[in-house]
Structure 1
Amino acid sequence: MVKTVDVLGFPHAYELFAPTDAPTDMPIVVFVHGWLLSRAYWQPVIEQLAGNYQCLAYDLRGFGHSQNFPNSAPAAQALPQNLTELDLTEPVPETVVQRTAVSVASPTSVAIDHPTLNREASSGASGSVPVSLPDQTAADQAEISSNRYTPAAYAQDLVHLLAELQIKKAWIVGHSLGGSIALWAAHLAPDTIEGVVCVNAGGGIYLKEEFERFRLAGEQLVKFRPRWLSYLPFLDLLLTRINVYRPIARRWAKQRLQDLLVANAEAALRSLLDSTTEAEVHQLPQVVAQLQQPVHFITGQKDTVMEPKYVRHLASFHPSFEFCGHNVSEISDCGHLAMIEQPDVTVAEIRAVLEKYSA
């Protein structure tokens, strides 16, 4: 059952699945989705894991059902109940439709340099490993409120969500941008977060021209979201093939389109722009290198959004990489949405990691 909890002033929709027969000291597995997505995509994974682990899935601030922003840009307008309410007078530029189809996926997972985030104060945890962050000044304090869409800020939300739900032990599974958020959360709350699994997430290499193209396409995508877009013939069929190796079920394509249209405009744009600067991209490997918890990476062999070589690059900064990629699993015939393209294999990999470190 979907519930809502206030986290730092924003309503967060979440589903905490019923306890299982697992020992009470087992960590809860928390799932974090990527950019312009929602918690819905974890359903095939949770259905298989819930028999052995209690699972939590939630919508990031400004995405899915975590809406109602004070003093921020509104989400895309609600869809009309019938076609007679549609305003079809505005032409649809073909290039924009193409960008819309291509871009409904998580961006390349990147990191941020978040000098203003007081990690111990925000997480309530002690013993955080430093990441060469300077002491806070009055200007830094002011910057905190303006940097609320960085991966570190979303990680702060996650840490507070765990506290609100009285979760004291957790493993975080993050997809794409959600992987960066999971890694930052592990840094913020090492006493609570016992480990991280990153799915289709990597990065740490800044490719200037590619990032500039991605940012431009993302900006245009967020700005062009007319409410009648969901009625565009065959757009959902196109989305069954975008950023995946084999076509996914049509219901997932419809979910992708729905998540695109309901995302809060400010959150969608700022989370993209604030996570793709050069300084931020170069920061994540430092965070990974200093994590004491286990971190495992799952990559899709055919992922064109976050190619396996970039996943391995980020994974190589963690001690468990051990020069030969011991902390990386590659799923064959899989694109950027492993949890719905290859749910059985994804579950098997996650389960193997959890069992390895709980033994």
Structure 2
Amino acid sequence: MVRRRPARLLATGPYAPPTAVSELSVVSADGSRLHAELHGPDGAPAVVLVHGWTCSTAFWAPVVRELAADHRIVLYDQRGHGRSPAVGPGGYSTHALADDLAAVLEQTLAAGERAVVVGHSMGGMTLMAAADRPQLRERAAAALLCNTGASRLTARGRVVPLRGERLRTRVQGALLGSSAPFGPVTPLSKRLLKYVTMGPAADPALVAACAGIVHACPRAVRAAWARVIGELDLEAEVGRLALPTAVLAGTADRLTPPEHARSLAARLPRCAGLTELDGLGHMAPLEDPAAVSRVIRDLVATYGREAAGQDVERTGGAGTGTTKEPTT
């Protein structure tokens, strides 16, 4: 099978995607194929990273560099993103997201191996959508919901500073759901992307790398997933996400403001802590990969024997209740 390669990324240094140890094609329940990558040493604690809307495995490059020396990292391109082919009109749904994650867990983890699963933005929605899947219950030791929400995303968003919720919802929904082409990466497009998705301190190299990733997403795929996100309601699934789950937000996130994270932390059955990163926007794993990686390492340390595939009693550890740990 010939895989479509993403457009050339404007990325160097820590933003350049590292070379995978191996690559494979994961087959989902409806036959869709997903590009997946493995990084890090065999036998190390496993971490599965699930990217968000308009992104790809390249989004996780700085986090992979932080973790790959002593973790086994699994990455995959969500359907239609990166090197995972687009699907037909009926193939875009939260059910499909859950199917895809279930397939990745089944086909990339060794027998008995359990992973810490991290979802950013739409990747976090993927985790919530999969709350009832046996593959998540059996193969995930803990989870991290990063820069995400369960419902009312356009109503709570702060991209357009309008007071009236109904008008704000309509305008933000129209902007984010547009199928208009992004066009080439230009100084203006980078300024707009920074405003929408990042905190004020994001440096030019970060903005350029992020623009290269986002602009590579096909506009039809972008619009199809925007419709799903615009109608999202996973509130019931949050209450069924029974594994220890941490939540992370950026205080300057305009797409999923911190109120989403606080709501998630309050409703999760086994909240493993709430971290708010001061001044960061929606792209926290790119903006401060070290801070995000520390949260992942904490989950691995608490539930590490499970992540490495050893059978241990799940007592809740440090994860019961809600905590808030502002980090810079």
Shorter-chain TM-score above 0.5? yes
Q: Is the 8 A contact 1:13 1:65 kept in 2?
A: yes
What's the secondary structure of 2:116's corresponding residue? strand
What is the CA–CA distance in structure 1 between the aligned matches of 2:274 and 2:38, rounded to whole Å?
Answer: 28
Q: Is the 8 A contact 2:34 2:83 kept in 1?
A: yes
C-alpha displacement at 1:327, in angstroms?
A: 2.2
2:309 equivalent to 1:352: no
What's the secondary structure of 1:195's corresponding residue? strand
Q: 1:292 to 1:232 in 2, by over 3 A?
A: closer
Where does structure 2 lack aligned partners over 5 or more consecutive residues? 1-19, 156-164, 306-328
Letter in 1 for 2:198: V
C-alpha displacement at 1:236, in angstroms?
A: 3.0
2:102 equivalent to 1:155: no
What is the CA–CA distance in structure 2 between the aligned matches of 1:19 and 1:285, rounded to whole Å?
Answer: 37
The residue number in structure 1 matching 2:61 is 43
Deviates more, 1:150-159 or 1:53-62: 150-159
Letter in 2 for 1:19: P
Match of 1:330 among 262, 271, 276: 276
What is the CA–CA distance in structure 2 between the aligned matches of 1:307 and 1:236, rounded to whole Å?
Answer: 21
Q: Is the 8 A contact 1:183 1:196 kept in 2?
A: no
2:266 equivalent to 1:316: yes
Where does structure 1 lack aligned partners over 5 or more consecutive residues? 73-145
- How does 1:40-79 map onto structure 2 within 5 Å? 40-67=58-85, 69=86
C-alpha displacement at 1:5, in angstroms?
A: 0.4
2:150 equivalent to 1:217: no
Q: Is the 8 A contact 2:247 2:264 kept in 1?
A: no
RMSD between superposed Cα atoms in Å: 2.5
Q: Is the 8 A contact 2:199 2:281 kept in 1?
A: yes
Q: Deviations over 1:126-166 (max 9, x none)?
A: xxxxxxxxxxxxxxxxxxxx3x2122311211211222224
Instruction: Report the TM-score, using the length of structure 1 for normalisation.
Output: 0.67
Q: Deviations over 1:278-312 (max 9, x none)?
A: xx42xx22212122211110111222221112211
Letter in 2 for 1:15: E
Q: Deviations over 1:94-116 (max 9, x none)?
A: xxxxxxxxxxxxxxxxxxxxxxx
Q: Is the 8 A contact 2:150 2:264 kept in 1?
A: yes
2:23 equivalent to 1:3: yes
Letter in 1 for 2:96: A
What is the CA–CA distance in structure 2 between the aligned matches of 1:343 and 1:256, rounded to whole Å?
Answer: 13
Letter in 2 for 1:150: S
What is the CA–CA distance in structure 2 between the aligned matches of 1:242 and 1:308, rounded to whole Å?
Answer: 15
The residue number in structure 2 matching 1:143 is none
What is the CA–CA distance in structure 2 between the aligned matches of 1:42 and 1:165, rounded to whole Å?
Answer: 18
Instruction: Report the TM-score, using the length of structure 2 for normalisation.
Output: 0.73
The residue number in structure 2 matching 1:196 is 143
Q: Is the 8 A contact 2:250 2:258 kept in 1?
A: yes
What's the secondary structure of 1:344's corresponding residue? helix
Match of 1:175 among 120, 126, 137: 120
Q: Deviations over 1:309-350 (max 9, x none)?
A: 2211122111334xxxx6211111211111111121111122
C-alpha displacement at 1:241, in angstroms?
A: 4.5
Match of 1:339 among 282, 285, 290: 285
Q: Is the 8 A contact 2:26 2:35 kept in 1?
A: no
Q: 1:219 to 1:332 in 2, by over 3 A?
A: closer
What is the CA–CA distance in structure 2 between the aligned matches of 1:319 and 1:232, rounded to whole Å?
Answer: 45
C-alpha displacement at 1:239, in angstroms?
A: 3.3
What is the CA–CA distance in structure 2 between the aligned matches of 1:350 and 1:171, rounded to whole Å?
Answer: 8
C-alpha displacement at 1:54, in angstroms?
A: 0.6
Q: 1:289 to 1:267 in 2, by over 3 A?
A: same
Q: Is the 8 A contact 2:58 2:213 kept in 1?
A: no
Give the number of equivalent residue pairs. Answer: 268
What is the CA–CA distance in structure 1 between the aligned matches of 2:252 and 2:185, rounded to whole Å?
Answer: 30
Could you list the runs of 4 or more consecutive aligned residues of structure 1 that deviate by over 6 angstroms after TM superposition? none
C-alpha displacement at 1:70, in angstroms?
A: 6.1
Q: Is the 8 A contact 1:12 1:60 kept in 2?
A: yes
Q: Is the 8 A contact 2:80 2:87 kept in 1?
A: no
What's the secondary structure of 1:34's corresponding residue? coil
What's the secondary structure of 1:37's corresponding residue? coil
2:237 equivalent to 1:290: no
Q: Is the 8 A contact 1:241 1:248 kept in 2?
A: no
Letter in 2 for 1:212: R
Q: Is the 8 A contact 1:291 1:318 kept in 2?
A: yes
Identity %: 24
The residue number in structure 1 matching 2:199 is 245
C-alpha displacement at 1:217, in angstroms?
A: 0.9
What is the CA–CA distance in structure 2 between the aligned matches of 1:205 and 1:46, rounded to whole Å?
Answer: 31
Letter in 1 for 2:175: A
The residue number in structure 1 matching 2:107 is 164
